[in-house]
Every structure is written in C-alpha cells, then in structure tokens.
Amino acid sequence: MPTEYAWFLPTGQYGDGHRINAEVAERPPTVEYLSEVARAAERAGFVNLLTPTGTHCLDAWMMGAAIAARTERIKFCIAFRPGLMSPVMAVQQANTFDIVTDGRLTVNVVTGSTQVDQKRYGDHLDHDARYARTGEFLEIMAALWREEGPVTFKGGYYDIENAKIFASPVTKPHPAVYLGGSSEAGRRAGAKHADVHMMWTVELDRVVEDVAEMRRLAAEYEREDALRFGLRMHVVCRETKAEARRAAEALIEGSDIDHIQVWSEMRNKTESEGQRRMNELGGRDSLWITDTLWMGVNTVRAGAGATLVGTPDMIAAALRDYTEAGASTFILSGWPHVEEAEIFGKEVMPLLKDTEPVTL
C-alpha cells in the first residue's frame, strides 16, 4: 500500500526553534517563516502539511490559504472543530480552498481535546456528546459532497433544510477526511466516517491492536477496505545515535509545560483517551520506551508526545515497522521544522522507497 509522509506547520503561539515550548518564540509563526517550513517540507518529499487548530494557534484556513500561494505542490491538512461552525459552511470553505489551490486540500476534523479549550469558544458539550455531534456533522458533509440534491437533515445537533453548495471540489469524490480518536466514541466515529483514522504513536504492539480493533469496527459499517490508518509523531535524526539523543534532550532543556497555559490544561485536565495514553507512556520510569521511541516531548507540551530518535537507519526501520503494523500515513514534525524536514528528506526518505511513498 502506498505510504503518505506529511509534515507539520508550527502555527501556535510557541512558534518554532531549537527548544520546544519556549517562553518566548525563537521563530514566531509569521506567514514568511511558515512558508519557509512549507517549502522545506515540499523539497524534502512530504506531500501534506498538518495545519493545527485551537485557541493557541493562528486560524488554520487563513494560514493554509496564505501559505498555499507561496508553495507549488504540497497539500494542506486543515484542522477545524465541528462544534464551532456549520457543516454546510465547512463544506463551502473546503470546496473553495480546494478550488483555489487546485486540489491541494485534506481536512483534519478535531472533535476536541479538553473542555477547557472548548469552553473558550463557547462549546460546553462533554466528550461523548461532541463525538455524537461530529458524527452528524460528517454525515451532512458527506451528503453535500455526494451532490445528490439539496440536503435536508434533522438530528440531535443539526437541523439543515435544503442545503446545496454552488461550487464542487477539485478533489474527487472529496478532500480526504482525517479523524482522530482513541476512545470508544472516537473510534466508532473514525470507523464510520474517516478516510484516515489518526492515532498518536505508541508502542508497536499497541498499534497492531489498535489497527485490528479499528478494522473490526469499520467492518460493522462495511468500510474495512475504505479506512486507512495514520500515526502522528516527531523525529530527531542525526548521524549517530549519541548525537540524536543529545539533540532530543536539548529540545526540552529549560522548557516548562506551564509556559503555554493551554498545553498544561490539555495535558493535565484532559478528557482525551489519546492524551491519557501519552501521559501514561511519559510517566514511566524511563522516557525511552524503546531504543528509538522517546517520550520527552510529553513532559513539556500536550498532544502528540512520542518521538523517533536515532540515525537515519534507525528511524527508517521504526517507520517501516509501523507500516507493517498497518499504518500508511505518517504526520511528522521536528524542531526546528525547516532543518529537521531537510534532514529527513536527505537522510531518511531515500531509505523508505520500499514503503512506496506517495508523490505529488
């Protein structure tokens, strides 16, 4: 199966640099700098860019559109939260973005990570209710993308009458939907609606179990052949294992999760099963889960906490193991994002030809 390698746009208030979650951003998230990141990722062979969402980030739709105009081929995985906009408006924005960029859109539907950040937006639903709402949201989006006529939908969260979007997306049948979730509610939503079910990276055997469970759930909706699986992680690649470990540990020196309040709240006041899994791995006696998998990032920020650390051969071997476990999409990041993308493109990507990397 072809494998998609994607990169990340650091649009958050913490910016980018040689330290994670620095109190003052070394490289602020300007359009100019983020365009450098995007072009570096494009040159390195990455085919997609995750553009995050949250009160700590710049708006993903606007930043994606601005940076798309400064790149040539790379796609944008625009993250957004269903509860904060109409599903009809979401399709209108998605179709417009896809038209403007000539088919360079995928979407990351983020149900929510913690009630703390959701309430900042005025969204007070609990975890399972948010996933129920996401299910309705994606049903409406899918109906609009099928273009079978005006869409009328009445559910527990949405009441839509005779909706129809003027413009169709360039990408057929529609931009791919990436959806994450490790809870039962999150997995069921992914099994029923996602094109790519995203997970934060854990040990290999747990990924094998997760993929098997998701395939079982997808079969209930007759979608076992339609669903792909993705992992979100960071990378630190250097010529020697010792250099890579020193570089990884330097990323968190002098950092504190409390530098960014939303990170502290997301990690420590979470309803997310995925975040709990990150916290459990990061709370073990050693941050080195394997010779390559390191959890130091979890100590200074929330969200994806796992990092592959090592030589090009070590990182390529670990990614190859995850592909054999069932993953076919990898959304990667590394600090600073320009330099780490360049290293990955030069040193690791050539070693992954047997995984059939998607190209643009």
Is 259 inside any structural domain? Answer: no
> What are the pLDDT digits (tens) for 143-178?
999 998 899 999 999 999 999 999 999 999 999 999
Is 320 inside any structural domain? Answer: no
> What are the pLDDT digits (tens) for 39-91?
999 999 999 999 999 888 999 999 999 999 999 999 999 999 998 999 999 99
Rg, Å, the chain Cα set: 19
Is 275 inside any structural domain? Answer: no
Task: Tell me the average pLDDT across 178-194.
Answer: 93
Q: Compute the distance between CA of residue 149 and CA of residue 159 in angstroms, rounded to an integer.
A: 17
Is 288 inside any structural domain? Answer: no
Q: What is the DSSP letter of 360?
A: -
Question: What residue numbers bound the domain in which 152 lies?
Answer: 4-233+327-341+349-355
Any idea what the CATH number is for the domain that residue 125 is in? 3.20.20.30
Task: Tell me the average pLDDT across 244-264.
Answer: 76
Q: Compute the distance between CA of residue 110 and CA of residue 113 in angstroms, rounded to an integer.
A: 8
Task: Tell me the average pLDDT across 327-349.
Answer: 98
Q: What's residue 234's pLDDT?
A: 98
Q: Compute the distance between CA of residue 211 and CA of residue 230 in angstroms, rounded to an integer.
A: 10
Is 207 inside any structural domain? Answer: yes
Q: Compute the distance between CA of residue 178 and CA of residue 230 in angstroms, rounded to an integer.
A: 9
Nearest to 296 by CA among 351, 347, 260, 253: 253
Is 333 inside any structural domain? Answer: yes
Report how many domains make up the chain: 1
Task: Tell me the average pLDDT across 291-318.
Answer: 93
Is 256 inside any structural domain? Answer: no
Does position 263 have pLDDT exceeding 60, yes or no?
Answer: no
Is 147 inside any structural domain? Answer: yes
